[in-house]
Chains A and B, each alone.
Chain A
Amino acid sequence: MNKKTIFSSHTLALFALLCLALLLLDGCTGPRTGRLQGGGDTQYGDPNDVETITSAWGSTDLQLTAESMTQSLLDSRWIMHAAEPPKVRLREVRNLTSEHIDTKSITDKIRVQLLKSGAVRFLADTANLGEVAAERQFTEAATRRTENKLMADTDYIVTGTVRSIRKTTKQAASVFYQITMELVDPQSGEILWADEKELSKSTTTPKIGW
């Protein structure tokens, strides 16, 4: 009985030592950079990689649209052949799809790319003013106050819409996006440039699964 008790305490001590060693080892192999590390498998990826997790609007759609529209706009004669970089204001791109798309991300990306090109100058957004009509009203009001004149003196405005057609059956789903953008002279209302980007995606349902 006594012998059994002594053996048992030895075993316990050995077990405690093992645990301590494991803890120390774990401390040595842990992160040394001070960054937080979660339990999940999280990795950095290339933001330019094609993302096809679902058929919903995603980062690849945003990049393709912004790149295509920016290049088309820079190639238009109103920008390319302008005597000096025109002053542009980016207005809202209206979401007419059946998805909650943050269209601000499209205009933000286009603005950054256009600014980097040096071909245009941008005026600060006048959020909450309703598109072209508001632009005209704003300009009219501002011209009466010289201190606001410069801020309101827009050469062109850029607007657009995103539309989608989605078809789904039990076997497959497809979505078609049409993104249209326009360069408008706010004084005359004339549409000077317009282009569209079309994107099509489809997914199929697996035949057998859990």
Chain B
Amino acid sequence: MRSYGKKIGSALALACFLLLGACSARVSTEDIRSSLNAGNYEDLQEKMQTAHEEHQEFVTALNLARVYQLQGRWRESIALYDSGLRILEEYEQRAIINLREALGTVGSILIARGSKDYFGTGYERTLLHTFNSLNYLMLGDFTGAMVEMRKMEQRQELWLAEEERRLQEHLEDLRERSSANYDDLSGLPANYTMTALLNDPRTKAVARSYQDAFSYSLSAIVCRLAGDPDYAAISLRRAALLDQNARILFSAAWGKGKITAGQWEPVIPKAPSAQPSLARVLNVLKPSSDAKGKNSQEISVIVFCGLAPALHMERVRIPAPYIGYVLVDLPAFFPPLQYGTPTVESSTGQGLPLYALLHTDLLAYRTLKDELRYEVGSAIARAVSRAAIAGATYAAAASNKNTQSFAPLLGALATGIMDLFSSGASQNVRNWELLPAEAYLSQGQVRKGESVRIQIEREMVEIDLPQEANGVIIIVSHAAKAKMRVDYVAY
């Protein structure tokens, strides 16, 4: 009896050891948030660097790139975003029937969700280019920034191509089950914390999980400065379709535009930078008709607040006879870190309107909602496969006279070991958690020689604008309380 029980125990212990050995820990969300709160960027960078060198993953590259960006190390940040992009491109160019992908998918469905490599969701792949564009912008390379914005748009096409089949299946499924609807969340476990957030009207109002008005608004600013006003107009129209605040903001700053065939045609004012195209050469040589001209300068203020929600696996345990319980693990998010609403005003007291055009929490929740049917299906498959292994352990023990009195204990032990492994594998389930929770944008004109005050809750920063510049783009990063960082580029 002792030797048989010992064998089962040893097998379970060995399986546990091997499975846990396969999962090595990343920088935890708690570590990231506490390092940022302490303002210890160097420490966080070191940890992220070690994690990236060890894992070479899409998400480790992006998180490290963002740490560099928060320190104003634009070139290092570009290198890391490019590294993340190479990993993503390698994934996108893989064969249609890919064995690695197939094994990962089978593993994520039957064993643990973390078995499959993570290559970001639609909004993360889009924002990779948006945030890399900011690096080029801060280096004064407007052409480089524009290239990144064009890549941002192309990335959405790729994402659509990747998701098309799954979305199509999902729609067909809904059509077949006429009683079902997109907002039906009835199959979720009772204790699942995301149910309310997925049902939130703000989540439902997000048009597409991979598009945001901030990226398109930034694209309009960048393309105008890089000398492509036509592309800037297209971007601005797209931004306005996603969020009416973009239209309000730019109508006030650049002009109201007009409505043609029901479509808004925005005004893209002549860029003050000395990069005119050949077609506009004669216009450039004429004196500017802009009355504000010499005494005022353009100002764009971008404020990044807080931290995006962090992905983790939520584990719901449902009591079950013989094996203790059945574990159902579903993806969920730690709430975003959000601070107060920022305000911007010039030294003469002129307030500049700030609009929140990016909400990463809503994009994350909307993405989860879009994929919920698949996630629930996978979670059930994992729960069933774990329960089957524990059940088989119980049955094997119960069928032997020597161990049948310990059978429920061994069944529960098997469940516990798999719970432990599932917990270890969950460490691999991470997202781009160093994205800001919100991005605000302001666009306007101030008198030359003025200074600008930016305030978030009790923190305030005042910067003097360079008098000789035609315009200034200011980036304010507020990833943690009492740690506001301001960078700007003049043109």
Identify the A interface with B (CB < 8 A).
94-100, 129-134, 136, 159, 166-171, 182, 184, 189, 191, 203, 205-210
Q: Which residues of B contact A159 (CB under 8 A)?
A: 278
Minimum CB–CB distance from B257 to chain A (whole Å) comes to: 23
Minimum CB–CB distance from A8 to chain B (whole Å) comes to: 38
User: In the docked arrangement, what's the CA distance between A99 and B148, Å?
Assistant: 8
- Chain B, 249-291, contact with A by CB distance < 8 Å: what is the 0/1 string? 0000000000000000000000001111110011011000000
Q: Which of B155-163, B194-202, B403-411, B481-489 contacts A (4 or more CB under 8 A)?
A: B155-163
Q: Please determine whether B97 and A207 come into contact, CB atoms closer than 8 angstroms.
A: yes
Q: Please determine whether A205 and B276 come into contact, CB atoms closer than 8 angstroms.
A: no
**Which chain A residue shows the least CB distance to B162?**
A170
Q: Which residues of B contact A205 (CB under 8 A)?
A: 93-96
Minimum CB–CB distance from B212 to chain A (whole Å) comes to: 19
Instruction: Judge if B424 is at the interface, Cβ distance under 8 Å.
Output: no
Q: Please determine whether B95 and A206 come into contact, CB atoms closer than 8 angstroms.
A: yes
Q: Please determine whether B276 and A97 come into contact, CB atoms closer than 8 angstroms.
A: no
Q: Please determine whether B282 and A98 come into contact, CB atoms closer than 8 angstroms.
A: no
User: In the docked arrangement, what's the CA distance between A133 and B277, Å?
Assistant: 9
Q: Which residues of A contact B96 (CB under 8 A)?
A: 170-171, 205-208
Q: Please determine whether B275 and A209 come into contact, CB atoms closer than 8 angstroms.
A: no
Q: Please determine whether A209 and B147 come into contact, CB atoms closer than 8 angstroms.
A: no
User: In the docked arrangement, what's the CA distance between A210 and B101, Å?
Assistant: 8
Instruction: Judge if B154 is at the interface, Cβ distance under 8 Å.
Output: yes
- Specify which of A129, A130, A209 is in contact with B99 (CB 8 Å cutoff): A209
Minimum CB–CB distance from A115 to chain B (whole Å) comes to: 24
Instruction: Judge if B150 is at the interface, Cβ distance under 8 Å.
Output: yes
**Which chain B residue shows the least CB distance to A128?**
B274
**Which chain A residue shows the least CB distance to B231?**
A96
Q: Please determine whether A131 and B275 come into contact, CB atoms closer than 8 angstroms.
A: yes
- Specify which of B154, B228, B274 is in contact with A129 (CB 8 Å cutoff): B274
Q: Which residues of A contact B285 (CB under 8 A)?
A: 133, 136
For the complex with contacts A129-B274, A130-B274, 14 further pairs of A-B residues with Cβ separation under 8 Å are A96-B146, A131-B275, A132-B276, A132-B278, A133-B274, A136-B281, A167-B157, A168-B92, A169-B161, A170-B161, A184-B278, A207-B95, A209-B95, A209-B98
Q: Please determine whether A189 and B282 come into contact, CB atoms closer than 8 angstroms.
A: yes
Q: Which residues of B contact A189 (CB under 8 A)?
A: 278, 281-282
Q: Please determine whether B143 and A133 come into contact, CB atoms closer than 8 angstroms.
A: no
Minimum CB–CB distance from B280 to chain A (whole Å) comes to: 9
Minimum CB–CB distance from B168 to chain A (whole Å) comes to: 13
**Which chain A residue shows the least CB distance to B103?**
A210
Q: Please determine whether B275 and A130 come into contact, CB atoms closer than 8 angstroms.
A: yes
Q: Please determine whether B99 and A210 come into contact, CB atoms closer than 8 angstroms.
A: yes
Which 9 residue pairs spanning A and B have beta carbons closest together?
Answer: A209-B95, A130-B274, A98-B150, A206-B95, A133-B284, A132-B281, A208-B97, A98-B151, A133-B276
Q: Which residues of A contact B153 (CB under 8 A)?
A: 98
Q: Which residues of A contact B100 (CB under 8 A)?
A: 210
Q: Which residues of A contact B92 (CB under 8 A)?
A: 168
Q: Given the known inter-chain contacts A99-B147, A189-B281, please indicate yes or no for A166 contacting B275, CB distance below 8 A.
A: no
Q: Which residues of A contact B228 (CB under 8 A)?
A: 96
**Which chain A residue shows the least CB distance to B284?**
A133
User: In the docked arrangement, what's the CA distance between A103 and B134, Å?
Assistant: 21
**Which chain A residue shows the least CB distance to B129?**
A98
Q: Please determine whether A209 and B94 come into contact, CB atoms closer than 8 angstroms.
A: yes
Q: Please determine whether B277 and A97 come into contact, CB atoms closer than 8 angstroms.
A: no
Q: Please determine whether B144 and A100 come into contact, CB atoms closer than 8 angstroms.
A: yes
Q: Which residues of A contact B436 (CB under 8 A)?
A: none
**Which chain A residue shows the least CB distance to B94?**
A209
